[in-house]
Structure 1
Amino acid sequence: MDAEEADSVELYRLMVLEQDLELPAAAALLGWTEGRTAAAAERLGRYELLVPLRGEGRAFGVATPRSAVCRLMAPLDQQIEHLEREAERLRANLGRYQDTYSEALREAEGRNEVLTILGLDAINAELEGAAARCTKEVLTVQPGGGRKAESLAASWEPTRAMLDRGVQMRTIYQHSARFHPATRQYVKQVSTHGGAVRSVDECTDRLIIFDREVAFIPARGDRQVALAIREPAVVQFLVSVFERFWHDATPFASHNRASEVKTLLTGVRMSIIKLLAEGETDTAIARRLGVSVRTCRGHIAKIYEEFGARSRCQLGVLIATSGVLDAVGDEEAGACPDD
């Protein structure tokens, strides 16, 4: 405590011992000036710890700190009580608006087979609600490589709740997500709880389907607008798109094996070769494969080296004349069963 506060404590101690004391006498006993004593007494007065005695005289008694607290806190307690009533009233009023919002939303969902959802908070709220209602199956496509650790942490609890109540979950990532530690850890959690995860080199945009009844897709590139689709024919079409990617996908293990890494890297580079042949830019290729532009350019540099090319134009000619694209086409055709 500071010196002024120490003076107040010392004067209060003396007053408690003497019970009935004038300030000049207190100053003499403490060896203080009257000004110092008066300043300490003023601070005690603000706390209502000194009680004047004998009318207008200079003698004082003391009040207990407990009784002083009760007197000083009474107005504050009244304010707190008032604020608590106001807060409760505000909750009740906004609660009525929440009920109205929920009822109107359910009515809109029943009337609209395609619902537009604006804003990330509203989208996440709709996804959380659909996840809570989901009873059988959820299908998810998560493009763009590894997801942010914060997003994965936020999505884990509703995901775990679905898995724990027996919902079948299948998720598709892009191969690049296999090299993202936070995503690998998340996949391990999902797999441990019964979910299935695979990856592909390229996939469709983000897609989430609950119970084959409602599908969520982005409606804008920044993902601030989404569509909730309940039209059965469209949902079934989106399920078929998912199943096609799932059929061609590779199981996503929580730990990368050396042989799998080599195969995945080969697959990524073959995808880049095909996109280069189609004339795509480095940025477009990186976006489609879910990797950074820097990583993409690293793969392209290796492809230049493998083909012995010194320019983009020369690389295109070498790819076209090498027969590698024909070989890939033959493999894909051979993988499809005859009708």
Structure 2
Amino acid sequence: MRNARLDSMATVSFGGGTLRTQRTEQGVNTGEVDSVELYRLMIRVQDLELSEAADMLGWSEGRTAAAAEWLSRYELLVPLLGEGSAFGVSTPRSAVSRLMAPLDQQFEHLEREAERLRADLGRYQVTYSEAIHEAEDRNEISTILGLDAINAELESAAARCTEEVLTVQPGGGRKAESLAASWEHTRAMLERGVQMRTIYQHSARFHSATRQYVKQVSTHGGAVRSVDECTDRLIIFDREVAFIPARSDRQIALAIHQPAVVEFLVSVFERFWNDATPFSAHNRAPEVKTLLSGVRMSIIKLLADGETDNAIARRLGVSVRTCRGHIAKIYEDFGARSRCQLGVLIAASGVLDADDEEGDADVDG
């Protein structure tokens, strides 16, 4: 069966019952596919030499060697002791057990190492928490660096909270993942009787995940309202500690324990709360119409102040695209064709004066 051409393609040897093959380009291309057919034959015909298998399959010796090498790497070929160069087969299940044994040992080692790291870092976490609280006792305002540290402090403060939490969440709807992550701590506070009040911006009412979260909070006794514009993020626990961002990207926060400053921030919250509209989990047509009118009135005021589209969107907690959609409707309502003309028409309409008079009437009343 052997010839010079086959010898140049591959060499098959079974000395000592060990399969040795030299892969060729042909073997690399066909070995994996052919190995299935060779394995099928070896299962049907026991005590088979590869030269005999090659004859039965009508394959070259090189092709058979490549397929056999593929089977051998998975330990699916078993040399038969005392049978010369004959091979039998091993079941895939037993081969998996043999091949996975060293991997399982590695997994066990990695799991032990992971547990050790958790234990070691857990001790540092205790030290960190103790040091932070000691610093809080000494300092009326402390700086927290990084989102992980900020979230850890918020979770710790939420766990200690016993009476009330006040929250301002500016911008539009929050990400579903963020809401899901915060719900566990929120629910725990509500279930132990903590009074919770939260302020969103009107734009959050059109975000389905936020509406669902508000429904959960309301069902558990929390109160939620919304406003057109509000202050930056603010969280106050038990009127004892307040958290505010110290940078626009919210990577740094301040924890404020100074009683006068905390009380001032509570008064800021109360002013927004008194002007806010109850946040319903379901948008009703009249409410939507009123909210849209309020949003567009806010945009008109900001346009009159010369604010850019980006600045207006940021202040109202909407996307720039949504903001421009509202502006386009305002252009249509006033019949304006340019920004300059819109400004003139807004001033001439008296709409801003009428809004100011309405506010004065409310104050006088």
Structure 2 residue aligned with 1:121 = 148
Asked if 1:253 is matched to 2:253, the reply is no
Residues 222 and 61 of structure 1: CA distance in aligned 2, closer, same or farther (over 3 Å) = closer
Structure 1 residue aligned with 2:14 = none
Structure 2 residue aligned with 1:23 = 49
Alignment partner of 2:341 out of 288, 307, 311:
311
In 1, Cα distance between the equivalents of 2:334 and 2:283? Answer: 26
- CA offsets 1:188-210 (integer angstroms, 9 cap, x no match): 22212211111222221111111
**Alignment-mate amino acid for residue 50 of structure 1:** V
Residues 216 and 38 of structure 1: CA distance in aligned 2, closer, same or farther (over 3 Å) = closer
Residues 53 and 44 of structure 1: CA distance in aligned 2, closer, same or farther (over 3 Å) = farther
**Alignment-mate amino acid for residue 110 of structure 1:** D
Q: Which moved more, 1:81-90 or 1:122-131?
A: 81-90
TM-aligned CA deviation for residue 255 of structure 1: 2.6
Asked if 1:172 is matched to 2:225, the reply is no
CA RMSD of aligned residues (A): 3.7
TM-aligned CA deviation for residue 294 of structure 1: 0.8
Asked if 1:58 is matched to 2:89, the reply is no
Q: Which moved more, 1:279-288 or 1:33-42?
A: 33-42
Structure 2 residue aligned with 1:192 = 219
In 2, Cα distance between the equivalents of 1:238 and 1:226? Answer: 15
Name stretches of at least 5 consecutive residues in structure 2 with no aligned partner: 1-31
Residues 6 and 242 of structure 1: CA distance in aligned 2, closer, same or farther (over 3 Å) = same
TM-aligned CA deviation for residue 116 of structure 1: 1.5
In 1, Cα distance between the equivalents of 2:102 and 2:53? Answer: 34
**Alignment-mate amino acid for residue 184 of structure 1:** R
Write out aligned runs for 1:268-307 (5 A). Answer: 268-291=295-318, 292=320, 293-298=323-328, 300-301=330-331, 304-305=334-335
In 1, Cα distance between the equivalents of 2:296 and 2:39? Answer: 80
- CA offsets 1:212-250 (integer angstroms, 9 cap, x no match): 121111111222221111112111111111112112222
- The number of aligned residues is 326
- CA offsets 1:7-62 (integer angstroms, 9 cap, x no match): 134224432xxxxx5738955995767947776766666527534434xx725475
Residues 70 and 266 of structure 1: CA distance in aligned 2, closer, same or farther (over 3 Å) = closer
Q: Which moved more, 1:143-152 or 1:199-208?
A: 143-152
Structure 2 residue aligned with 1:18 = none
- CA offsets 1:103-146 (integer angstroms, 9 cap, x no match): 33333333322121222333223222222332221111122233
Write out aligned runs for 1:315-334 (5 A). Answer: 315=345, 317-318=347-348, 323-334=353-364
- CA offsets 1:70-118 (integer angstroms, 9 cap, x no match): 6555544444444344334333333333333333333333332212122
Decide whether the 8 Å contact of 2:54 with 2:64 is kept in 1.
no
Name stretches of at least 5 consecutive residues in structure 1 with no aligned partner: 16-20
TM-aligned CA deviation for residue 64 of structure 1: 5.8
Alignment partner of 1:110 out of 133, 137, 140:
137
Decide whether the 8 Å contact of 1:117 with 1:228 is kept in 2.
yes
TM-aligned CA deviation for residue 285 of structure 1: 3.6
Structure 1 residue aligned with 2:128 = 101
Residues 265 and 10 of structure 1: CA distance in aligned 2, closer, same or farther (over 3 Å) = closer
Structure 1 residue aligned with 2:228 = 201
In 2, Cα distance between the equivalents of 1:310 and 1:69? Answer: 76
**Alignment-mate amino acid for residue 202 of structure 1:** E
In 2, Cα distance between the equivalents of 1:313 and 1:87? Answer: 63
TM-aligned CA deviation for residue 328 of structure 1: 2.6
Decide whether the 8 Å contact of 1:12 with 1:44 is kept in 2.
no
- CA offsets 1:273-331 (integer angstroms, 9 cap, x no match): 5445545444434433333431442464266359xx97255246426698425513422
Decide whether the 8 Å contact of 1:11 with 1:40 is kept in 2.
no
Aligned partner of residue 203 in structure 1, secondary structure: coil
Structure 1 residue aligned with 2:23 = none
Question: When the two structures are superposed, what TM-score results if normalisation uses the length of structure 2?
Answer: 0.73
Residues 323 and 75 of structure 1: CA distance in aligned 2, closer, same or farther (over 3 Å) = closer
Aligned partner of residue 45 in structure 2, secondary structure: helix
Question: When the two structures are superposed, what TM-score results if normalisation uses the length of structure 1?
Answer: 0.78
In 2, Cα distance between the equivalents of 1:92 and 1:322? Answer: 63
Alignment partner of 2:185 out of 136, 158, 161:
158
Aligned partner of residue 204 in structure 1, secondary structure: coil
Residues 269 and 332 of structure 1: CA distance in aligned 2, closer, same or farther (over 3 Å) = farther
